[in-house]
Structure 1
Amino acid sequence: MSSKSRDDDEHFEGQSALKEDLNRKIKEQKVVVDELSNLKKNRKVYIQQRNSNIFFLADRSQTLNSSKKELDYMKKDLQDL
């Protein structure tokens, strides 16, 4: 097997792993969006501080909008691969 062929195989496997990981994250984000969409208006929503176990009270509609935007970015990234 030539060096170029081996590099192509490694690139393909790496890209395939990236796609699988991104697909998993997209599925998770869809669940988040669905859960936020189905909450009653008066329910409290908390968001987790990055790299921490601390949660802060957040606005439900703002959290839903940012989750939808993040889902759109993920879908766009998947199409770009």
Structure 2
Amino acid sequence: MSSKNIQRTEPGAQEERAQKKELNKKITEQKIVVEELSNWKKNSRVYTQQPNSNIFFLADKGETLSACKKDLDNMRKEYQDI
């Protein structure tokens, strides 16, 4: 009899790992966005893209930074819940 260690995983566990990996990637991207916005000059112009569109509109830097931070916090909470 062979003494190979065969690791069996449930299908749900693999899906959960894939979901965690994807969410971790999005968290990293969001961290970079927040850092970039934080380091821009105060009078820099910020444009936000409209959902499901290729149109960009001028936005307030402070509001955009705040929204990005909120999104990052929500992603972190979701990651901890998984």
Q: Normalized against structure 1, the TM-score is what?
A: 0.89
Q: Number of residues paired by the alignment?
A: 75
- Percent of aligned pairs with the same amino acid: 56
Unaligned runs of 5+ in 2: 1-7
**Aligned twin of 2:23:** 22
**Aligned twin of 2:48:** 47
SS in 1 for 2:25: helix
* 2:26 alignment partner AA: K
**Aligned twin of 1:78:** 79
Unaligned runs of 5+ in 1: 1-5
- Runs of 4+ more than 4 Å apart: none
- Please state which structure has a larger fraction of its residues in helix: 1
**Aligned twin of 1:34:** 35
Shift of 1:52: 1.1
State the structure with more CA Rg.
2
SS in 2 for 1:40: coil
Q: Normalized against structure 2, the TM-score is what?
A: 0.88
The root-mean-square deviation of aligned C-alpha atoms, in Å, is 1.2
Deviations 1:34-60 (A, max 9, x none): 000000001000001111111110000
SS in 1 for 2:48: strand
**Aligned twin of 1:11:** 12
